[in-house]
Amino acid sequence: MDIYKINLGTDSYTVNAVLYSSGDQINNVVCTLDAIISYSTDGVAWSEPAYRQLTNLTARGTLYLKIEPNPEGEQRKGAYVAKIDLLKTMAGCSYSLPAADKQVTQDSGSDRITVTTAASCAWTATSGVAWISLASDKITTGSGSAAYSYDENMALLPRRGTIAIAGQTYTVTQAARPLSPDHYEPNNTAAQAYLLTPVFAQNTGAVSISPANCDNANDMDYYKINLGAGYSYTVNAALYDKRNQINNSNYSLYASISYSADGATWSAEGSELKNLSMKEGTLYIRIKPHDNSAPSESYGFYSVKIGINTCVYSLAKSSAEVDGGASSATVDITAGASCPWTASSNAAWITGVNPVSGTGNAAVTYSVAKNTVAERQGTLTVAGQTFTVTQSVVAGFETAGTVKIYPNPAKDFVTIDLSSSPENYVSLKIVNIVGQVLYEWENPVRKQEVSLKEFSSGLYFILLRGKEGTTVQKLLIE
């Protein structure tokens, strides 16, 4: 529990304390604790705890406030906000209101409360609930009015909220929202999916589903968005329901959301769709009561906010040529700030791809291994596009033009004739295209016949290492 104190001195004050707890949103803070508030004038004897507010307390000296988890609440830890208004009591002042309460519809709206008092008498107004907002919380002197607004009621029951104003309590009672088929119906199968049309500004689109409801525990709502050709898309959708309120909403349905690209195979259910990568076609969205919802949570209202980014990816170039030595290089990606991409190598000799994923513009680094065989090509897939790397043979390797190899193409055997070469070779190796040594001969003679019966058909290389370097010659086996 948290205990606070306010030293008021010898003057008398009117005190109003409002507690914002689980589900409330105030000053961009979403409160998560189910809390209660109480007060004391000596720090020993405490008032009965209140769930929302302490209204029109008269206090002097030291006032203690205690905020603690509600023992009957679901959320026993988390964040809360408390707002405390103090107004010095003025002798000889009286205040009157034209009415003590107001009945309003389930929709959002606004109104004013008029206060009549003497010209020198000061007063304030404080809302006791998050869904009622005052246009100003300044101290007013003399007669005047306080403007307030109220959010829509998305629950199936009416609700009451109070405003402490000029030492009196003004009550706002808001009607329940009737549960009947919403304007998206009939949309209870993928074939009946309601078509949503996002509004785009440049490369960003948005569309909302609101107000919507599941009117029974078996109700499923389907929606669809047609995604045009020529783009990639990133889609995010936030579901607001009883477990995930927004702007002090009070949705009563506990729901789940999933998606499909064909209306038949569906993703896992959750509370949001995050960074979906979509191509052209139709995106289906399904809302249904959550499998773990209590009976009282299995029907009611919800809303969904959907954001869509059209993603166009480009590479600074589609290919690169590198020398035969081990080295690193980069490829530059241009993409929208929220557009996700991945990068991967399709060749064993191209490694160290970094980063392997990201969003927006980036430079992807990759490494190539030393090439001791022959010119080769490999590819990377970067942001869905193919980037080709061509690597030459490592410096110091030459083609052995004076070496005779026959027959070539060969089948059962091949003759390697070194008699025309002035070089005295240290070793002779036959390797496959990935550099695996399949035949090796130290200090080869001037002419050698090699059996090929254990070799598969394909391209091979003959490596001849001399004192001045290594030469290479192609060999084709049929």
Domain at 387, CATH number? 2.60.40.10
Span of 158-172, 318-332, 391-405 with lowest mean pLDDT:
391-405
Within-domain flag for 176: no
pLDDT at residue number 402: 67
pLDDT exceeds cutoff 50 at 364? yes
Are residues 18 and 79 both part of a single domain? yes
pLDDT per position as a tens digit, 60-69: 999 999 999 9
pLDDT at residue number 151: 93
Within-domain flag for 105: no
pLDDT exceeds cutoff 80 at 397? no
pLDDT at residue number 396: 40
Are residues 194 and 307 both part of a single domain? yes
Domain at 426, CATH number? 2.60.40.3080
Phi-psi region of 164 (alpha: psi -120 to 50; beta: other; left: phi over 0): beta
Q: Which two tokens stand for residue 90?
A: 């003025």
Within-domain flag for 41: yes
Cα dihedral across residues 346, 348, 349, 354: positive or negative:
positive
Q: Where are the beta strands (DSSP E) in 116-231?
A: 122-123, 125-127, 132-134, 140-141, 144-150, 159-165, 168-174, 194-195, 199-201, 204-214, 221-227
Q: Please answer whether residues 288 and 219 qualify as being in contact, where contact means their C-beta atoms are separated by less than 8 angstroms.
A: yes
pLDDT > 70 in the chain, percent: 97
Within-domain flag for 123: no
Domain boundary among 54, 89, 124: 89
Residue 433's contacts (CB-CB under 8 Å, 6 or more residues apart) are: 373, 374, 376, 458, 459, 460, 461
Q: For the stretch 345-369, what's the b/e string if a residue is b when 16 or more beta carbons lie within 10 angstroms of its beta carbon?
A: bebebbeebeeeebbeebebebebb
Structural domain count, the chain: 4
By three-state DSSP, how is residue 28 classified? coil
pLDDT per position as a tens digit, 74-120: 888 889 999 998 988 888 899 999 999 999 999 999 999 999 999 99
Domain extent for 465: 398-477
Residue 411's contacts (CB-CB under 8 Å, 6 or more residues apart) are: 452, 477, 478
Q: What is the mean pLDDT of the segment spanning 364-380?
A: 88
By three-state DSSP, how is residue 190 classified? helix
Are residues 340 and 296 both part of a single domain? no
Domain boundary among 89, 112, 140: 89
pLDDT at residue number 325: 80
Are residues 53 and 79 both part of a single domain? yes
Domain boundary among 89, 106, 138: 89
pLDDT per position as a tens digit, 16-53: 999 988 777 776 677 888 999 999 999 999 999 988 88
Q: What is the mean pLDDT of the segment spanning 287-301?
A: 91
Within-domain flag for 35: yes
Within-domain flag for 143: no
Using 50, 70 and 90 to split pLDDT, how confident is the model at 288? very high
Within-domain flag for 279: yes
pLDDT exceeds cutoff 90 at 408? no
Q: Which amino acid is at 157?
A: L
